[in-house]
Amino acid sequence: MEFKGERADGMEEVYDEPVSPTGQYFNSSVLSICILAALESDIPIDTSQTNFLLNTLFIPINPRFSSIMVKDEHGVKQWKKVDVKLEDHVHVPIFPDGLSPESYDDYLQEYLSKIAMERLPQSRPLWEIHLIKYPTSNAAGTIVFKLHHALGDGFSLMGALFSCLRRADNPSLPLTFPSSKQGKSSDSNRDSFFKKVTGFLSRFLYTTSDFAWSILKSSFVEDDRTPIRSGHEWVELRPINISTVTFSLDQIKQIKDKLGGTINDVITGIIFYGTRLYMQISGPQDSINAHSTALVLLNTRVINNYLSLKEMSKPDSKSPWGNQFGFLHVSIPDLSADVEMANPIDFVYKGREIIQRKRGSLAVYLTGRLLEMMRKLRGPETTAQYVHRTLKNSSMTISNMIGPMEQMSLADHPARGMYFMVVGVPQSLTITMVSYMGKLKVAVGVEKDFINEKLYISCLEKAFTRIFKAAVVSP
């Protein structure tokens, strides 16, 4: 669909579509949020097919990959189609030759930190691809996509990426993904009149309290300064380090089967426990149970499974392209004055209890309506400042995606692993997760020289081991 306006010279200007409200917030004077998606290749990177693949596979995915943001005569941002100059978007960094994989680990981390801090130029489409042709400890080469969050959320962008990939074992077969279906409740009285009434009252009370708390957190109430929250102004402009750790999905499922709930409940419990362990080791005694809040990203689509790009582009799609998510404010549990003495599985139970209760309220929906009303009354820049404060006043963000169960390949480059990171966020700590080939890779993005990412990773590993032993190994 095209939208028309009038240029200063009287000629007619044609736009492809308006920029969504969330897209405007994420690409504003106070926010510029991007996603780094990394594919770890099993073989050395061959760049000879790059331009052909970008022209035939990547750019046709969505018109936004060949469009820029411009303001119309009313000052409203629109997507405008432009010619894509691939030489402006493809980067092949040069590192010293002949170093060890461990040395290239450091070079890759410094490079990721550098591109994470750089704003994408507004004069060209909001994406880049970086081809790292040096072997690291985890891969023979690494392909990094930098995609602006204004293009779409993780669901859209990862779905786009998967559309360019094929199964390594048999390219003619589709990639398959773990089922997101949840088990049905065993409560035979779930439809009773009493439960409906109490459920309605509980939902009303939780919605009221959660929505009020969300406004307070976004406007006035900041988390305490702790070993995971520096409180620095414009912390998003400081260098970051990105590290990863991998867990077995089979073992996570074993924990889930023993404790009930979902895989996400287990993962969240591991992160909460590991975070408290890190805070106890790294900070003063009074920071152990300091008030710390995690923003958990919630997919608000009707369905959770990836659709074809054609389906996502339909006007009446159940899972449309774009940014379709909300935030849940979740307090990190503080179950014991000494985290080392706490029962590890209590973090799983407590995290599940908080998230289930908050998912049952309508606070996410009301927050979305509040942002829309604010945008209409005060404009997208003021609304972007509100979103910035929402992020800045909390301690960390947690986001997860589902990846394929089979090994995938990009242009005959089998992917050994994959991970992603949200950058440009005004926080000292960001956690992202993606499942792939029976493994769960957790990426940790930290404020450099403030959070010790190696120590934090070791705390996550310790949390995982202790929860697994307490839930599965111990009688």
- Per DSSP, the residues of 162-211 read HHT-EESS-TTSPP-----PPPPP--TTTT-HHHHHHHHHHHHHHHHHHH
Tokens (6 digits) for 26: 């994420």
Q: How confident is the model at residue 288 (pLDDT cuts 50, 70, 90)?
A: low
H or E, element range at 4: strand 3-6
How far, in Å, CA of 274 to CA of 459, rounded?
Answer: 5
Residues in the chain: 475
Give the H or E element holding residue 468. helix 453-468
CA pair distance 182, 195, nearest whole angstrom: 21
Within 10 angstroms of residue 197's Cβ, the number of other Cβ atoms is 10
- What is the token pair recorded at 28? 């504003």
Distances (CA, A) of 337 to 230, 287, 395, 435: 22, 10, 20, 33
**pLDDT-based confidence at residue 120 (cuts at 50, 70, 90):** very high
Residue 302 has pLDDT above 60, yes or no: no
Classify 71 as helix, strand or coil.
strand
Domains in the chain: boundaries: 3-167, 193-403+426-473
For domain 193-403+426-473, the CATH class is alpha beta
Considering 72-81, 157-166, 413-422, the range whose residues carry the highest mean pLDDT is 413-422
Q: Residues with Cβ < 8 Å from 313, sequence gap 6 or more?
A: 62, 320, 321
Q: What are phi and psi of 439, to 5 degrees?
A: -120, 155
pLDDT over 70 (residue 331): yes
DSSP 315: T
> Can you tell me whether residue 394 is helix, strand or coil?
coil
What's the confidence (pLDDT) of residue 415?
Answer: 94
Indicate the average pLDDT of the chain. Answer: 85
Q: Give the Å distances, CA to CA, from 408 to 41, 174, 175, 222, 475.
A: 10, 10, 8, 42, 39
Q: Mean pLDDT across the stretch 378-390? A: 90
**pLDDT tens digit sequence for 180-238:** 544 444 444 445 544 555 555 677 777 888 888 888 888 888 999 999 999 898 899 99
CATH number for 3-167 (one of 3.20.20.370, 3.40.50.300, 3.30.559.10, 3.90.1150.10): it is: 3.30.559.10
Whether residue 48 has pLDDT greater than 70: yes
> Is 374 in contact with 382 (CB distance < 8 Å)?
yes
pLDDT, residue 200, reads 56
Nearest of 40, 245, 59, 49 to residue 133 by alpha carbon: 40
CA distance 422 to 150: 12
- Residue 326, number of CB atoms within 10 A of its CB: 18
In the DSSP assignment, the letter for residue 226 is B
Confidence of residue 261 (pLDDT cuts 50, 70, 90): confident
Q: What is the pLDDT of residue 433?
A: 94
pLDDT score recorded for residue 356 = 81
Q: Using an 8 Å Cβ cutoff, are 462 and 274 in contact? A: yes
Using alpha carbons, select from 408, 331, 472 the residue that is nearest to residue 39. Answer: 408
Greater pLDDT, 154 or 107: 107
Tokens of 279: 């805070």
Token digits of residue 418: 């994959």
